[in-house]
Amino acid sequence: MKRIGMLTSGGDCQALNAAMRGVVKTLDNSKEDVEIYGFLDGYKGLIYSKFQMLTGRDFAGILTKGGTILGTSRTPFKTINDPDENGLNKVEAMKQNYYKLQLDCLVILGGNGTHKTANLLSQEGLNVITLPKTIDNDLWGTDMTFGFQSAVNIATDAIDCIHTTAASHGRVFIVEIMGHKVGWLPLNAGMAGGADIILIPEIPYDIDKVIAKIEEREKRGSRFTIIAVAEGAISKEDAKLSKKDYRKKLEKQVHPSVSYEIAADIQKKTGREVRVTVPGHMQRGGSPCPYDRVFASRLGSEAGKLILDGQYGFMVGYKNREIVRVPLEDVAGRLKTVDPDATIIQEAKLLGISFGD
């Protein structure tokens, strides 16, 4: 009998259910007796022993369902060693619940913060296997994360829809795409949606270069401009500030986000009409796209095989079109950012896309 704990932590995304289904179906088809303990709302469920006993039937019919049947929440790694409001040691509580239930393994689905905690639990002696979930595609050790392609599709649809109204009114339109620290999502959605300007955190922008691109398009007879802006885009001036000074500036920020600041700057300097559209959490929602359904199922299947093989301490990743096993310690605390000199950036520039640099 194998007892498996499972939880989803951090922001939700498409294909979490598909990935869990892949794990459970693989274990069920092995004919080995298995008990599945689904911890509710992420690490909180493991900390406070809130779980449900699940069977294969609970994972039937969820391949196409977005979100997570277990619920999720954020438990910041930076405070994981701090006692809760009642003085509870969260790490010790997770360990105690793991051992109390006599678990053989924890399967944890999540992004960067989730992997830091997962690695900590692994170092504390728990058997842990992780799956790479994030729409940002910023996890180290894997070329792709599930949820990313579905989010690209949604963000691209948003840009596609903006094109017709932008062309009709002859306006500058900004579409704010999720991506606080890295720009993979706005980069891919921007290219797929035909954005004229793409602003990402890794390439600080010069607002005058952004305006120059808008004016260049106007001279060529284009009545509108589409700008895809990462929520974490930053100007060259702000990029020179220390983290402390930048945080102070954000605290005094009068605009809801960087996109509105850029819009205000463009309107002030050029007099052009600018509109901002923020798809927001729509990018996390809905059914997973076919790619993510297949991809998450493959990752889940490999996680199931790791459990059957008794191999722990790994993230199941994707490298050079193959599913791979990546040591957790290599993943935790590392971001996969967009290299400003990457070939995809150079190719985008050859297509005439400006990055405001």
Residue 249: its pLDDT value, please? 77
Catalytic residue among 12, 41, 136, 138: 136
Residue 253: its pLDDT value, please? 80
DSSP state of 235: B
Distance CA 139, CA 132 (A): 7
Residue 244: its pLDDT value, please? 80
Strand partners, 2: 34
Residue 308: its pLDDT value, please? 95
Answer yes or no: are the C-beta atoms of 159 and 194 closer than 8 Å. yes
Residue 27: its pLDDT value, please? 95
Distance CA 246, CA 84 (A): 30
Residue 246: its pLDDT value, please? 79
Residue 204: its pLDDT value, please? 97
Q: Hunting for tokens 């619920």 — which residue is that?
A: 71
Q: Which residues contact 279 (CB under 8 A, 6 or more apart)?
A: 154, 155, 158, 175, 176, 177
pLDDT digits (tens, 9 = 90+) for 131-146: 999 999 999 999 999 9
**pLDDT beneath 50: ranges in the chain:** none
Report all structural domains of the chain as residue ranges with CATH numbers, in order of start.
2-147+288-331 (3.40.50.450), 150-284 (3.40.50.460)
Residue 252: its pLDDT value, please? 75
- In degrees, rounded to 5, the angle at the alpha carbon of residue 147 between the alpha carbons of residues 133 and 55 is 65
Residues in the chain: 357
Catalogue the E-assigned strands of the chain.
Answer: 2-8, 34-39, 51-54, 105-110, 128-132, 172-177, 197-199, 225-230, 274-277, 314-319, 322-327
pTM of this structure: 0.94
Answer yes or no: are the C-beta atoms of 80 and 117 closer than 8 Å. yes
Whether 341 is catalytic is no
